[in-house]
């Protein structure tokens, strides 16, 4: 029996998903959380095998919740379930430790297969996303520095972003043009696989920058 926790803030979708999972053989819905904070508590309390995680949640994001859950219990399989399909979003959640990724229009069959797969320790991605993610993950990641994939300058810029400075202010601080800073920021986002500043800051903070 696979114990599943559903984290989803949209009540109707959550209801449909829970009903679907309930109909499937071998799956037991251990609980439902509507926010990331609730999800962390619920997972700690119920100890599920799989967490179906919506990424856009009120309060902390699904990515942050994933990271927190896996920090407490690395054995949980998190399967992201989201409306968006862009590379940055996917990479972000994979870096946070999710085992897989499904779009919300996934069919019941796909969902069943994916839950079973991640519960069995496999990794699941939607069509097309797999190759891109492998390419993005191919960059070397061994080293003592928090973000070995970043150049010294990029790491410096990321540090300044994390302190809350704007591109303009960073440009002034480093005596560089704003455009150069934008280029660095663009590279940083690509290398960290994040979609926006807030996510980059979260990554930097987590890494202790």
Partner 1 sequence: MRTPRSPWPVWAGAAFAGLLLLLVAGSLAVEPRLRELGVTGFVARFDAFRASGALAFGIPGVIVVVRRPEVRVGWIMLAVGAVQGVSLALGSYGLLGINGVDGGLPLDDQLMWISNWGWTPAYLAVPTLFLLLFPDGRLPSRRWRPAAVLTWAAIVLATLGWALLPMADVDVAGLYPPGYQGLVPPWNGLAMPAQTAGLVCGALAAAAALASLVYRYRRSSGEVRRQVQWVLAAGLVTLVLLIVAQVGNSGLPLLLAPLPLPVAVTVAVVFHRLWDIDLLLVRTLTLGALSLTLLAAYAGSVLLLGRLFPEMPLVAVAVVAALAQPAYGRIRARANRLVFGERDDPVAALRRLGDRLSGGGLPGELLGQVAESLGRTLRVRRVAVEEDGVVVAEWSTGPEGPVERFPLLHRGEQVGTLVVGEPLRVRDREVLAELAPHIAVAVRAHRLGADLERSHQRLLAAREEERNRLLHELHDGVGPTLAALAFQADRGRRLVDGQPEAERLLEALAARIRSTVVDVRAIVNDLRPPPLEDLGLAGALAELGRGFAGSLVVEVDAAADLPPMPATVELAAYRIAAEALTNAARHAAASHCQIRLRAARDLELRVDDDGIGIPDQVRRGVGLGSMRRRAVELGGSFDLATPGTGGTRVLVTLPLREAG
Q: Which positions lie near partner 1, rule CB under 8 A?
A: 8, 10, 12-13, 15-17, 19-20, 23, 56, 83-87, 103-105, 107-108, 128, 132, 167, 178-179, 182-183, 185-186, 189, 195-197
Tell me the closest approach of the beta carbon of residue 102 to partner 1, in angstroms. 11
Distance CA 8, CA 34 (A): 5
Distance CA 100, CA 115 (A): 9
Instruction: Map tokens 């990641």 to a residue.
Output: 141
Calculated CA dihedral for residues 184, 185, 187, 192, nearest 10 degrees: 140
Closer CB to partner 1, 71 or 132, in the complex:
132
Closer CB to partner 1, 103 or 176, in the complex:
103
Closer CB to partner 1, 36 or 70, in the complex:
36
175 token code pair? 């005596």
Indicate if the alpha-carbon torsion angle 47, 27, 58, 100 is positive or negative. positive
CB distance 88 to 195 below 8 Å: yes
Tell me the closest approach of the beta carbon of residue 11 to partner 1, in angstroms. 9
CB distance 7 to 53 below 8 Å: yes
Tell me the closest approach of the beta carbon of residue 14 to partner 1, in angstroms. 8
Closer CB to partner 1, 83 or 137, in the complex:
83
Tell me the closest approach of the beta carbon of residue 88 to partner 1, in angstroms. 8
Closer CB to partner 1, 145 or 179, in the complex:
179
Tell me the closest approach of the beta carbon of residue 121 to partner 1, in angstroms. 27
Half-sphere exposure of 48 (CA within 13 A, CB side): 30
């Amino acid at each position: 029996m696979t114990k599943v926790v559903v984290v989803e803030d949209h009540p109707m979708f959550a209801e449909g998903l829970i009903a679907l999972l309930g109909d499937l053989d071998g799956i037991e819905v251990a609980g439902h959380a509507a926010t990331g904070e609730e999800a962390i508590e619920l997972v700690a309390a119920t100890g599920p095998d799989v967490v179906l995680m919506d990424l856009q949640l009120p309060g902390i994001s699904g990515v942050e919740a994933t990271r927190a859950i896996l920090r407490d219990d690395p054995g949980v399989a998190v399967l992201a379930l989201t409306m968006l399909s862009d590379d940055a979003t996917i990479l972000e959640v994979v870096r946070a430790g999710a085992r897989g990724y499904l779009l919300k229009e996934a069919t019941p069959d796909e969902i069943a297969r994916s839950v079973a797969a991640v519960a069995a320790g496999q990794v699941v991605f939607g069509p097309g996303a797999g190759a891109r993610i492998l390419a993005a993950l191919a960059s070397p990641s061994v080293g003592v520095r928090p973000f070995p994939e970043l150049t010294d300058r990029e790491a410096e810029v990321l540090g300044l972003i994390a302190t809350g400075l704007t591109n303009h202010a960073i440009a002034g601080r480093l005596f560089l043009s704003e455009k150069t800073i934008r280029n660095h920021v663009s590279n940083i986002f690509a290398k960290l696989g994040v979609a926006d500043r807030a996510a980059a800051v979260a990554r930097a903070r987590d890494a202790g920058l």
